[in-house]
Amino acid sequence: MNIILLGPPGAGKGTQAQRIQDSHHMIQLSTGDMLRAAVEAGTEVGLKAKAFMESGGLVPDEVVIGIISERIDQPDCKDGFILDGFPRTSAQAEALDKMLEEKSLKLNAVIEMKVEDEVLADRVAGRYSCAKCGAGYHDTFLQPKVDGVCDSCGSTEFKRRADDNRETVISRLEAYHAQTAPLLPYYEGKGVLRSIDGMASIDEVTKQINHVLSAL
């Protein structure tokens, strides 16, 4: 099964993708994570992407399309993947259609996580993750069971993203509404769009997604 999680920054895509990855043996493909790794490693892709990411704008289409196309060819994607943060523009959606066709792969569903703009800044500003295993947390909404210790791996080191501040969130939300939201009617037209209430609690959202997946 291959799916897309679609929603604004802070909607809960990464949080839910991690859970689906564990429960359904599908691979989470986060273009944001891949780009951050490239920036950190100082690769050519990273050098191209850095300034766009810092400003809260989108990285050029050809860069992310190239990354995803290569990643989908890896053997671990055979059992299914969860696209988290891709596609984000019409050009990316069209390129994805083309690459899936060429690789004889199917897109089973696009799950829209509906969240009101008002709550997104708080979600993004409080976000952090385990520096060792990447498990996601939030200052208020999702704290580790033992203060300062990662639930998943026991590490005591955590990190925050450089772009998770209130100023950048405004640009990222603008980019979402202008460039990514038009994908909703695109996928609705293809009959694959499923919308869920991303304002609900994290566990409740997981239930809704599992419900969608079990009906596919």
Q: Which stretch binds ligand ADP (CB under 6 A): 12-20, 98-106, 182-190, 208-216?
A: 12-20
Instruction: Give the angle subtended at the CA of 204 by the CAs of 203 and 210, to the nearest 5°.
Output: 90
Q: What does the per-residue mask of binding to ligand ADP show for 80-99, with x meaning CB under 6 A?
A: -----xx-x---x-------
Q: Is 172 a catalytic residue?
A: yes
C-alpha dihedral (187, 106, 10, 160), degrees to nearest 10: -150
* 216 closest CA partner among 29, 13, 80, 103: 80
Q: Is 173 in the site for ligand ADP (CB under 6 A)?
A: no
Q: Is 36 a catalytic residue?
A: no
With contact defined as beta carbons under 8 Å apart, do 126 and 141 qualify?
A: yes
150 binds, among ligand ADP, Zn ion, none (CB under 5 to 8 A by kind): Zn ion
The tokens describing 31, both together, are 């273009």
Strand partners, 84: 5, 30
Q: Is 46 in the site for ligand ADP (CB under 6 A)?
A: no
Q: How many CA atoms lie within 13 A of 176 on its CB side?
A: 21
CB of residue 59 vs ligand ADP: minimum separation in angstroms?
Answer: 4
Which is the catalytic residue, given 13, 36, 123, 194?
A: 13
Count of residues near Zn ion by CB under 5 A? 8
46 binds, among ligand ADP, Zn ion, none (CB under 5 to 8 A by kind): none
Write out the catalytic residue numbers. 13, 88, 127, 161, 172
